[in-house]
Structure 1
Amino acid sequence: MSRQFDDLMLGSIELFCLTAEQSSFTAAAARAGLTPAAVSRAISRLEQRLGVRLFSRTTRQVRLTDDGRAYFLQCRQALNQLAEAERELSGQQQKASGTLRISLPTPLGHYRILPLLPQFRAQHPEVQLDLQLSDRNVDLLAEGYDLAVRGRAQPDSSLVARKLIDAELVVVATPGYFARAGTPLSPDALAGHDCLQFLLPRSGQPVPWLFRRDGVDVEVETSGQIHTREQLLSAVTLVRHGAGLLQTYRFIVEDDLARGSLHEVLQDYGGRSRPFSLLYAGARHMPLRLRVFIDFLLRAFGQAV
C-alpha cells in the first residue's frame, strides 16, 4: 500500500491531539519541547490538508470546532492504539507506566480517593497521576481524560460505568444552630429552617434533599439564605460554622459527628444514598496503567474486579 501519512503529518496529528488536550498552543508546545509557533504551523498544515478549521482561536483560549472535536476523538483513539501496540511488542505491558489523567469529584476525591494514592504509587512507581478535582462533569474524551469518577451519570453511551460506592446521606448542623433554631423532627419541618443550598454546576438548580418516609423514597425541596456553587465543600465549611442545616455525605462529616461538633438529625427518615461510578472509554486495548488503577480503586472500595 502507498503511504498516506509522512513523518511530518503524523507529528502534526500528535501535536493537534496535544493542543486539544491542553486547550493551548503554548501549553502543548511546552509539553512537546517546541515553540508555540511550531505547534501553530503544524495545526495549520493539518487544517490545510483536511480543508476544515480544527480550532476556534481567540487571544485568550483555543477551542475545538465541531469538526475538530470529531477528528480529535478518532485521532486520540488511533494514537492510543499505536502506543499500546508498541508497548505490547516491546514488553512494556509487563509493568504499568506512563501518565494517567484523572478527574475526581471534590468531596470523594479529598476524603476517600486522594488518601489512597500514595499506596497506589508505591505499587506502581512508574505511573504518573495528573489529577483534576472538580464537581463539574468533564467531557472525558474531548478534554483528554483517561478516567473520571462522578456522582451523576453522563449521557455518553460510549463510556463504561463501574459502580464504586453508594455514599450515604445525612442531615447535620452544629449544636449552636439547633440551640438557636430548634431541631426539625420531620422533613416537612425543614420549611422553617435555614437549609444550605448547593447549586448543580450544569443547571444552577438546588440539589433536592433525599429521604425515605414509610419505606418510600421522597425528594424534598428546601430553602435557605446561602447558596453555594461549584464546590460542595464550601457548603460543608458553612455548616461547620453554624450557618444552617446541610444534607451531605456521611464520609465527609463522620469525624465531626464523632467529635460532637456536628449533630445528625432526621435519622428516622434516612437510608438514602447517591452512587459514585468510574467512567472510562470502552476500548479493547486498555493501557495497563489504566487497568491497574481501575482494579486498585475497585478493590479499595470493596467492589468486584
Structure 2
Amino acid sequence: MLRLDDLQVFVRTAELGSLSAAARLLDLSPAVASAALKRLEQELASRLFTRSTRSLRLTAEGEQYLVFARNALQNLAEGRDLLLSGRAEIGGLLQLSAPSDFGRNLLLPWLDTFQQAHPQLQLRLLLGDRNADLFRQPVDIALRYGAPEDSSLVALPVAPGNRRVLCASPEYLAAHGEPRRLEDLGSHNCLLYMIAGRLHDRWSFSDGRRELGVTVSGDRSSDDADVVRRWALAGRGLVYKSWLDVADDVQAGRLRVLLPGMPGDAAPLNLICAHRAQLNRAVHLLREHVARHCQALLANAPFAA
C-alpha cells in the first residue's frame, strides 16, 4: 500500500534534486528518506531515480509518475483544508461588486441575513453598472449579468435561467395602452440605459422559434439601471429589464409583464473572480445563499427558468 510520507519524499527529492535536501526539508534522517524511496519503488515495481555518487535524476518512469504524485498530494491537501474550513467560522474581509439595481433592491437584504449568520465576516460592497476591473480594483468577486468578456476570468453560475422581460406600470398602460406586437413598441416611450456610453436601444425577444429584434426610442436614458427601473415605476414608459430586477415589482402589481409569450435576451447571473484561489469557503457560501434567493424569484418567472 502506498504511503503518504513516501510520496512526499519522492516529490521533494525530484523538486530539489537531492535526497539529503529533501530529508532536511521534511525533518527526516537520510536513512529514513532513502528507505521511503526504496519502499515506493518496490510498491510500484519501477525504478524512479538513477543514482550515482554525485547526482540523482529521474528515470522516464519517475518523470511520468511525478505528475500523478504531485496531483495526489495536492488533492489530499485541498481535502484537508476543506474539512478544516468546514469546522471554522468564516471571517475576514470580502469585497464584492454588483449591478446597481440588483445590488440595492435585492442583494442588500440578502447580505444582511448572510452576515447575521456569519458575524465574523466583514463585507465591502461596490455598486455600479460598469464592470469592475477585478485585476486593478479592490474587489475579490463580482456579481454580473452575462458571461465575462475576458475568458481568463472564472465564472460560477448563480441564476443561469434568468432572462430580460418587457414591463410597464399599470398607470402608464392606462394612459397609453398596452403593446400587443413588437411593432407597437415604436409608438411607446421606451426607457433606455447606457453602459460605457453605449445606448441600449436594440431590444431582442424570442417567439420560441427565432430571435427578433426591434430598435426603440424614448425621452429618457441613464447609466444607472436602478434609475431606469424607478422611471418605469413612476409611469414614464416601458422598460426592458432582467426578471430578477423586476420580479418583486411584478408580484406586488407595481409593474406588469408585457408580451409574456416573447421573453427577452438571456441574462444569466454569474459570480466572477480573477483566480480560482479566491473561491474560498466564504465565497462558496455566499454564492449558494444568493442562488437560493434567485431561484425563488425565478420560480415565478413568466418564462421557463
Of stretches 291-300 and 148-157 in structure 1, the one that deviates more from structure 2 is: 291-300
Distance of 2:93 and 2:242 partners within structure 1: 31
Q: C-alpha offsets along residues 212-265 of structure 1, whole Å, 9 cap, x if unaligned?
A: 125212232211111112x10111111111211111233333343344443332
Of stretches 212-221 and 187-196 in structure 1, the one that deviates more from structure 2 is: 212-221
1:98–1:289 Cα contact (<8 Å) kept: no
Give SS of 1:94's match. coil
Distance of 2:235 and 2:102 partners within structure 1: 23
Distance of 2:279 and 2:258 partners within structure 1: 45
| 1:270 equivalent in structure 2 | 263
| 2:234 equivalent in structure 1 | 241
Q: TM-score, normalised by structure 2?
A: 0.61
Letter in 1 for 2:240: Q
Question: Within 5 A, what are the aligned runs for 1:1-305?
Answer: 94-165=88-159, 166-200=161-195, 202-229=196-223, 231-270=224-263, 272-284=265-277, 286-301=279-294
Structure 1 residues not aligned, in runs of 5+: 1-86
| 2:21 equivalent in structure 1 | none
Q: C-alpha offsets along residues 43-101 of structure 1, whole Å, 9 cap, x if unaligned?
A: xxxxxxxxxxxxxxxxxxxxxxxxxxxxxxxxxxxxxxxxxxxx99x999833221011
Distance of 1:260 and 1:134 partners within structure 2: 27
1:111–1:251 Cα contact (<8 Å) kept: no
Give SS of 1:100's match. strand
Distance of 1:214 and 1:238 partners within structure 2: 30
1:186–1:269 Cα contact (<8 Å) kept: no
Answer with 1 or 2: which has the greater Rg. Answer: 2
Give SS of 2:222's match. strand
1:168–1:272 Cα contact (<8 Å) kept: yes
Return the offset for 1:288: 4.0
Letter in 2 for 1:184: P
Q: TM-score, normalised by structure 1?
A: 0.61
CA RMSD of aligned residues (A): 2.9
Distance of 1:139 and 1:178 partners within structure 2: 40
Identity of aligned residues (%): 28
Give SS of 2:162's match. strand
Return the offset for 1:128: 0.3
Aligned residue-pair number: 214
2:158–2:287 Cα contact (<8 Å) kept: no
Give SS of 2:131's match. coil
